[in-house]
């Protein structure tokens, strides 16, 4: 694996010779059901691969899971039921989009909090700093005199 | 003998690096110009010796000297010459050598072209650059020596991983490293400025071209990697939100933010502290990326723990530079004086907004990439963060950023008029709405959101054009004046418009390929025909062929559209003899901006073969957009302003039209 990981390529970590994930014989006859299966598959992780969905992976485990998803769907499970079934079996690790719970609080929370905090920070800074938002003030007497002197010098 | 010379050259480079780490700083303190000048000579010599070292390794690979351990593990005497050369960096040791080669190249460029930098700044920059270089020379020499010999030279090498035997390996890593490592210059400038406690608009003017060059290389580097993955992996995906990809995306996001904040600093002398911080962050993220990829921590936290030598070494480098950089920042940043003031609605304000979104996007990628690692090592809990997470979080941020993008260049500095700009963008909205309507009418079945994306992409493209139209006075003035104004427009203005146009082109490609692609997975027997979008593909049969170090089974497909034959496609499966591994070679046919994509699967007992067929409309726009961004970066780089050093205006550059960043 070292040689693979070495170069830092997209290719490298995705496993050698990856080619065919879904094979023709796995596919369900009914297009609507198959489409649901594909959509679900792309949200599920192939647990023995690196960051690959079971839809993309050709590992035997991924194939088993794809068949399992299709089996549950043909038995009339809803998408949610299929997901719940798999999570009950394999834990949250199987989900490529982790659920929102206390352990993933920072994961989901940090980006929006950072954005909002950044926006608030900018508003505060903009309010506090004497910016050009303030209309230009009229020149006072001293400045008027200087200006007059300057323009006279320029003539 | 040659490997030993290479090894020795690297040791010499380290010695020079250590000298350069100390002497110029002392020179800068005592204003001793002789000591300060030393940094330039050592930087050039470092590059020479690292180059020599790299050349020695390349010779070992090209001549198939398998007594060198890394050549034995990654090369083969039967490989074509190009792969013998690219396999030098197709492994850990060699790629680290490429890393330091590029690092020393940038150091040498500063030495050679930094003639009009203030002497103390130049000395400090070169010293900081040398700290980084020395740390990595040490890393290579102590943990990843590419010149290590085997006691008994094997007769034949183990071959390069077949997936890497591709022209992509010749293009992608060098470009990516030029980008990633290029940010080291911005870092060195930032640290040097903090050491001196002085920073001004001239500083930004010197830093900007280096950042721009690094950003340009990184943009194409990432795009080329994406295209490589697309045609190699066999299912036509172009971005996987893999940690390794994210490692290159984070510096890109931070670098893009830096590019924009440096503009504010240069033009208006504002956002100094923030720009310095971004310069530190961009390179820190490059280092984090290097750590992620090199330490094996991605494979699993446990793999890292079982052989931690390299990982820990890089971690120390990481903590040293990032921690040190940020600590110095915290300590000295307050000494930097605040610059020009501006109203919230202004060009500066728009660029601040751009920075907020880019850094948040970067943070999202950062958290998403590292969270599973952190959670596993801290709580022992395993979770996965993949594409669905990033699409949901990163996607909206970037779309909002793009929707606001056309406003930026049209706003005036100091205080802008948002309503005025909104009115001037009227034509861009119109283009966007027409595109949206057309997209809805043509293809609304797949996704409701996609037409809005198309509308957005066209609006951004039109916005970039509006910017140029406004500035040149097209449609308002006689053509002669327009032409003169267009010629007189700064190249960086053209660069901005072109790069903004490019990212919209990429967006269009992503939407097109992602939404309206057609996929078919079928088992085919010879002479069967499949139809895919407007094309009919007939499977003519299989044939065996052999290459220099592999044998392959290729399938021949005749492609027809409207009854007319337009070509032949031959996807194949290759078996590499040395490693007894196989790869899948997809066949591609470009039709306009779209592509037909074929890849082979397993052969079934009944003689049929599984085939995946895709038609991906607009897919080429993804990479074309990146090329356009590169052109934009190049245009900005060629801006006269950037070639002219602040203290020495005009004269020279007018005669020398060649590209000379931060001369």
Question: Does pLDDT of B501 surpass 70?
Answer: yes
pLDDT grade for A138, boundaries at 50, 70 and 90: low
Cβ under 8 Å to A: B residues 599-658:
599-602, 604, 610, 612
Asked if residue B472 has pLDDT above 60, the reply is yes
Among A76-90, B191-205, B397-411, the range scoring the smallest mean pLDDT is B191-205
- Report the alpha-carbon distance of residue A65 to residue B327 in Å, rounded: 49
User: Any chain A CB within 8 A of the CB of B518?
Assistant: no
* pLDDT of residue B662 exceeding 80: no
Contact: A11, B232; criterion CB under 8 Å: yes
Contacts of B247 in chain A (CB under 8 A): 8
B228–A10 C-beta distance less than 8 A = yes
pLDDT digits (tens, 9 = 90+) for B414-432: 888 888 889 889 889 999 9
Q: Is B448 helix (H, G, I), strand (E, B) or coil?
A: coil
Tens-digit pLDDT profile for residues B303-342: 565 667 888 888 899 999 999 999 999 998 887 766 677 8
Q: Which of A5, A95, A119 has its CB closest to that of B299? A: A5
Give the tokens for residue B168.
């992509």
Q: What is the mean pLDDT of residues B344-357?
A: 90
- Would the pLDDT of A155 be above 60? no
The number of helix segments (H) and strand segments (E) in chain A equals 6, 0
Rounded to a whole number of angstroms, the distance between the first and last alpha carbons of chain A is 80
Average pLDDT over residues B58-80: 93
More confident residue, B663 or B444: B444
ipTM for the predicted complex comes to 0.81
Q: Judge contact between B178 and B250, C-beta under 8 A.
A: no
pLDDT band at B300 (very low <50, low <70, confident <90, very high): low
Average pLDDT, chain B: 88
Alpha-carbon distances, residue B450 vs A4, B237, B454, B593 (angstroms): 36, 18, 6, 17
Q: Which residues of A touch B303 (CB under 8 A)?
A: 1
Q: pLDDT tens digits for B572-618?
A: 999 888 888 888 889 999 999 999 999 988 888 888 898 989 999 99
For residue B648, pLDDT beyond 50: no
- Is B341 touching A (CB cutoff 8 A)? yes
Asked if the model's pLDDT at residue B204 lies above 90, the reply is no
- Is the Cβ of A63 closer than 8 Å to some Cβ of chain B? no
Partner A contacted by B241 (CB < 8 A): yes
Give the minimum alpha-carbon distance from B475 to chain A in angstroms, rounded to a whole number: 33
Residue A12 has pLDDT above 70, yes or no: no
Q: Report angle CA A37, A41, A44 to the nearest 5 degrees.
A: 145
Q: Residue A47: closest CA among chain B residues belongs to which residue? A: B384
Segment 69-98 of chain A within 8 Å of chain B by CB: 91-98
Q: Does B392 touch chain A (CB under 8 A)?
A: yes
Q: Which residues of B touch A22 (CB under 8 A)?
A: 521
Question: Which segment of A106-110, A135-139, B276-280, B521-525 scores lowest on mean pLDDT?
Answer: A135-139
pLDDT of residue B131: 96
Residues with Cβ within 8 Å of residue B13, at least 6 apart in sequence: B46, B49, B50, B53, B100, B104, B133, B137
pLDDT of residue B446: 66
- Residue B501: C-alpha distances to residues B412, B466, B593 (Å): 20, 11, 16
B382 contacts A103? CB cut-off 8 A: no
Q: A7 and B383 in contact by Cβ < 8 A?
A: no
- Nearest Cα to B661, choosing from B124, B189, B175? B189
| Shortest distance, CA B24 to any CA of chain A (angstroms) | 34
In chain A, the residue whose alpha carbon lies closest to the alpha carbon of B168 is A9
Element at B556 (helix H, strand E): strand B550-561
Distance from CA of B238 to the nearest CA of A (A): 9
Give me the residue from B237, B344, B397 closest to A56, CB to CB. B237
Residue of B nearest to A48 (CA): B299
């Amino acid at each position: 694996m070292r040689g693979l990981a070495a170069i830092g390529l997209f290719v490298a970590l995705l496993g050698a010779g990856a080619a065919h994930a879904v094979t023709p014989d796995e596919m369900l006859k009914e297009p609507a059901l198959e489409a649901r299966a594909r959509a679900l598959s792309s949200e599920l992780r192939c647990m023995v691969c690196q960051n690959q969905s079971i839809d993309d992976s050709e590992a035997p485990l991924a194939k088993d899971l794809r068949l399992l998803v299709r089996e549950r769907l043909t038995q009339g499970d809803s998408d949610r039921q299929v997901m719940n079934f798999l999570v009950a079996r394999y834990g949250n690790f199987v989900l490529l989009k982790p659920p929102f719970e206390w352990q993933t609080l920072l994961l989901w929370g940090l980006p929006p909090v950072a954005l909002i905090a950044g926006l608030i920070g900018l508003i505060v800074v903009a309010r506090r700093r004497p910016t050009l938002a303030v209309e230009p003030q009229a020149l006072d007497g001293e400045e008027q005199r200087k200006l007059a002197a300057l323009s006279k010098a320029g003539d | 003998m040659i490997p030993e010379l290479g090894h020795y050259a690297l040791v010499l480079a380290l010695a020079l690096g250590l000298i350069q780490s100390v002497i110029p700083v002392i020179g800068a303190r005592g204003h001793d110009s002789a000591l300060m000048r030393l940094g330039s000579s050592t930087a050039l010599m470092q590059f020479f010796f690292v180059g020599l070292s790299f050349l020695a390794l390349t010779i070992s690979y090209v001549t198939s000297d398998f007594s060198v351990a890394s050549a034995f593990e990654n090369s083969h005497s039967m490989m074509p010459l190009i792969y013998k050369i690219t396999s030098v960096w197709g492994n850990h040791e060699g790629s680290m050598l490429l890393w330091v080669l590029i690092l020393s190249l940038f150091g040498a460029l500063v030495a050679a072209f930094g003639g009009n930098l203030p002497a103390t700044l130049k000395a400090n920059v070169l010293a900081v650059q040398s700290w980084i270089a020395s740390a990595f020379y040490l890393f290579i020499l102590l943990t990843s020596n590419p010149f290590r010999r085997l006691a008994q030279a094997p007769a034949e090498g183990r071959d390069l991983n077949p997936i890497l035997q591709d022209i992509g390996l010749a293009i992608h890593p060098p470009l990516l490293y030029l980008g990633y490592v290029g940010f080291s210059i911005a870092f060195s400038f930032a640290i040097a400025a903090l050491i001196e406690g002085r920073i001004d608009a001239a500083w930004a003017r010197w830093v900007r071209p280096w950042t721009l060059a690094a950003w340009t290389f990184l943009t194409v580097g990432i795009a080329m990697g994406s295209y490589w993955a697309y045609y190699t992996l066999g299912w036509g995906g172009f971005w996987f939100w893999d940690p390794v990809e994210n490692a290159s995306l984070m510096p890109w996001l931070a670098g893009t933010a830096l590019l924009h904040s440096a503009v504010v600093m240069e033009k208006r002398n504002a956002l100094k502290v923030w720009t310095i911080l971004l310069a530190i962050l961009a390179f820190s993220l490059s280092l984090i990326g290097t750590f992620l990829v090199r330490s094996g921590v991605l494979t699993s936290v446990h793999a890292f723990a079982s052989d931690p030598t390299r990982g820990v070494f890089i971690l120390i480098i990481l903590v040293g530079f990032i921690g040190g950089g940020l600590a110095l920042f915290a300590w000295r940043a307050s000494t930097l004086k605040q610059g020009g003031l501006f109203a919230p609605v202004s060009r500066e304000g728009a660029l601040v907004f751009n920075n907020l979104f880019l850094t948040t996007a970067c943070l999202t990628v950062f958290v998403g990439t590292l969270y599973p690692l952190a959670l596993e090592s801290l709580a022992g809990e395993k979770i996965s963060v993949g594409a669905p997470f990033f699409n949901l979080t990163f996607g909206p941020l970037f779309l909002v950023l793009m929707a606001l993008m056309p406003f930026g260049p049209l706003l005036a500095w100091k205080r802008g008029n948002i309503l005025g700009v909104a009115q001037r963008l009227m034509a861009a909205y119109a283009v966007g709405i027409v595109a949206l309507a057309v997209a809805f009418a043509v293809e609304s079945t797949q996704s409701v959101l996609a037409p809005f994306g198309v509308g957005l992409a066209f609006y951004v493209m039109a916005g970039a054009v509006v910017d140029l139209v406004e500035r040149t006075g097209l449609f308002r003035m006689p053509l002669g004046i327009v032409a003169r104004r267009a010629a007189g427009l700064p190249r960086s203005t053209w660069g901005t418009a072109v790069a903004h146009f490019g990212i919209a082109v990429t967006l269009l490609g992503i939407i097109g390929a992602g939404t309206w692609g057609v996929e078919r997975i079928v088992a085919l027997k010879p002479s069967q025909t499949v139809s895919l979008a407007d094309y009919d593909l007939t499977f003519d049969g299989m044939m065996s062929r052999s290459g220099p170090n592999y044998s392959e089974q290729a399938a021949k497909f005749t492609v027809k559209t409207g009854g007319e034959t337009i070509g032949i496609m031959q996807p194949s499966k290759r078996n590499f003899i040395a490693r007894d591994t196989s790869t899948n070679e997809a066949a591609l046919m470009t039709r306009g901006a779209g592509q037909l994509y074929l890849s082979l699967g397993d052969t079934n007992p009944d003689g049929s073969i599984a085939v995946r067929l895709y038609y991906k409309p607009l897919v080429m726009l993804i990479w074309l957009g990146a090329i356009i961004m590169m052109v934009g970066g190049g245009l900005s780089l060629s801006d006269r302003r950037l070639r002219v050093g602040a203290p020495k205006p005009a004269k020279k550059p007018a005669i020398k039209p060649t590209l000379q960043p931060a001369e």
